[in-house]
Amino acid sequence: MSVKDRVIAIIAEQAVLEPSDVTLDSTLEDLGIDSLGLVECIFAIEEAFDISVPFNANEPDQSDFDISNVGSIIAGVQTLIAEQAT
């Protein structure tokens, strides 16, 4: 499964949706994922890819990790995987 599909699967599970219902331009808000759901998604992503995601809920805009939509999250995960490859 590609990074894209795995991230979509994680987000879909959190949103209690089918992966096919999650599109790249969906926002977390569109999918009904609140602030707690977001930190759960980030945790699942960190566990799935063995990466550390720099995200502080107090300043989401300051983070390098862009959560504005599903596509930006996937791009962020791909960047982190490349940066944190050991």
Partner 1 sequence: MKRVVITGAGTINALGRNVAQTLEAMREGRCGISELEFRDVERLAIRIGGQVKGYRPDDVFNRQQMVLYDRFTQFALLAAREAVAQSGLQFHGDLADRSGVVLGTSGGGLNTQDDNYRSVYEEGKNRVHPLVVPKLMNNAAASHVSMEMNLRGPTFTVATACASSNHAMGLAFQMVRSGSSTVMVTGGSESMLCFGGVKAWEGLRVMSKDACRPFSANRNGMVQGEGAGVYVFEDYEHARARGAEILAEVVGFAMTSDASDIVMPSKQGAARAITGALRDGQIAPEDVGYINAHGTGTAANDKTECAAVADALGAQADRVMISSTKAMHGHCIGGTGAVELLACIMALRDGVIAPTIGYEEPDAECALDVVPNVAREAKVDTVLSNAFAFGGLNAVLALRRAG
**Are residues 14 and 41 in contact, defined by beta-carbon separation less than 8 angstroms?**
yes
* 35 scored as a contact of partner 1 (CB under 8 A): yes
One DSSP character per residue, 25-69 reads T--TTTTT--HHHHHHHHHHHHHHHT------TT-GGGSSS--SS
* 84 scored as a contact of partner 1 (CB under 8 A): no
If the CB atoms of residues 21 and 43 are measured against partner 1, the closer one turns out to be: 43
Q: Minimal distance in Å, beta carbon 3 to partner 1?
A: 22
The whole-angstrom distance between residue 22's C-alpha and the CA centroid of its chain comes to 12
* 81 scored as a contact of partner 1 (CB under 8 A): no
| Residues in touch with partner 1 (CB under 8 A) | 35-36, 39, 42-43, 52, 55-59, 62
